[in-house]
Structure 1
Amino acid sequence: MLAALWTLSAAIRGYLRFYMPTNRAVDWLRSPRGLKWAIPVALVATPAYLGLTTLAIQGAARPSLGWLNVLVFLFFWNAAKFAWMAVLSLPMILVRAIRDVPVAGRPASR
């Protein structure tokens, strides 16, 4: 039973990682080419998703629109992903810069 749940969760994670646009954007922002865009994208995407969250909260407060709570969770989760990417991108940039500095007596990493 545990193996079946593990396999199912891995399949769901793989599906969401490949087909959901924000997951693809975050994966690209973690790449070496996208890392320089991580902070600007996060500075735009995080407030945008938080604004959409507030709009969805206002809509979900109306009668018979409780299904909008799903969008509230989704928008907030995406805002948190991009905000967290902004926090993690600076150390990733620094580690990459330190790794690419040549050391005397050792050939360059490229």
Structure 2
Amino acid sequence: MIRSIWTVSTFIHAVLQRCAPTNIVLGRIRRRRGLKWGVPAMLLAVPYLIEASLCSAAVGDGASGWLNLIILLCLWNAMKFIVAGPVAVVLLLRARHREAVARRASERANAAVELVAA
């Protein structure tokens, strides 16, 4: 029973990573080329928060209770984008540090080769 639940949840996770628009955007932000867009992507949380507010007002005015699921989804997506900004900054700093270390090691190796050749 646990194995089948685990398998189904793994399948659903894989499908959502490939098909859900927010997961696609966040996946591209986490790549090296997309890290610079982490902080501006935080602004994408604003439309989700506005939509959640509008749905909340509609539920308060007597609309269907199913809109609460839309509210939860919007708040979850807004949280993902808000957290993506600082995470992208940390990942960018780590990537730049690794690149600087590799560049210095390459320069030292080139200098050693030049000394041996001279």
TM-score normalized by the length of structure 1: 0.88
Partner in structure 2 of residue 55 of structure 1: 54
Higher helix content, 1 or 2: 2
Q: Secondary structure at the match of 1:107?
A: helix
Partner in structure 2 of residue 68 of structure 1: 67
Deviation string 1:22-70 (CA, Å, 9 cap, x unpaired) is 110110110111111111121x211221111111110121224211111
RMSD after superposition: 1.7
Partner in structure 2 of residue 80 of structure 1: 79
Confirm or deny that 1:46 pairs with 2:45. yes
Q: CA deviation at 1:103?
A: 5.6
Structure 2, unaligned stretches of length 5 or more? 108-118
Q: How many residues align?
A: 107
Q: Secondary structure at the match of 2:64?
A: coil
**Partner amino acid for 1:80?**
M
Q: 1:19 to 1:36 in 2, by over 3 A?
A: same
**Structure with greater contact order relative to length (CA < 8 Å, sep ≥ 6):** 2
Q: How many angstroms apart in 2 are the aligned matches of 1:7 and 1:29?
A: 28
Q: Which has the larger radius of gyration?
A: 2
Q: How many angstroms apart in 2 are the aligned matches of 1:103 and 1:32?
A: 16
Q: How does 1:1-110 map to 2 (within 5 A)?
A: 1-42=1-42, 44-102=43-101, 106-107=105-106
Moved over 3 A (4+): 102-105
Deviation string 1:72-95 (CA, Å, 9 cap, x unpaired) is 001000000000101211111110
